[in-house]
Amino acid sequence: MDVEVYFPGNKRVFAKFGDFVVETDQPTKYGGDATAPTPFEMFIASIATCAGVFVLEFLQNRALPTEDAGVFLRAERNVETHLVEVVHLLIKLPSGFPERYRGAVVRAVEQCSVKRHLDSPPRFDISVEIA
């Protein structure tokens, strides 16, 4: 996947890939305009939405109701390093969800590709090009 990043003004940083543009910004307290989520917020949201895709697919594949279903994520940060130490994912399921599928839906969420990349992170190769 190729992503082209560009700077449309102030602290905004946009990423273009395929037919999509993802907009990010910084909070006003950091000089931004708070017009879009921060890159870190997008990162955390990508974990939650990836888990959500797997929950939704699990429910749909079994013709189970999706109303009142979803995922809640809470990230715990280390106060000294400010890095996330624990990601809590709560899978919200509708009443009447079959108990026999409880473990299976957790295993489905564990297949989320964003989570799996965090379990085995890629190597970064950073270089510089001057125009």
Q: Where are the domains of the chain?
A: 1-36, 37-122
- The CATH class that applies to domain 37-122 reads alpha beta
pLDDT at 116: 96
Per-residue pLDDT of the chain (131 residues; tens, 9 = 90+): 999 999 999 999 999 999 999 999 999 999 999 999 999 999 999 999 999 999 999 999 999 999 999 999 999 999 999 999 999 999 999 999 999 999 999 999 999 999 999 999 999 999 999 99
**How is 65-119 classified by DSSP, letter by letter?**
--TT-EEEEEEEEPTTT--EEEEEEEEE--TT--GGGHHHHHHHHTT-HHHHHHH
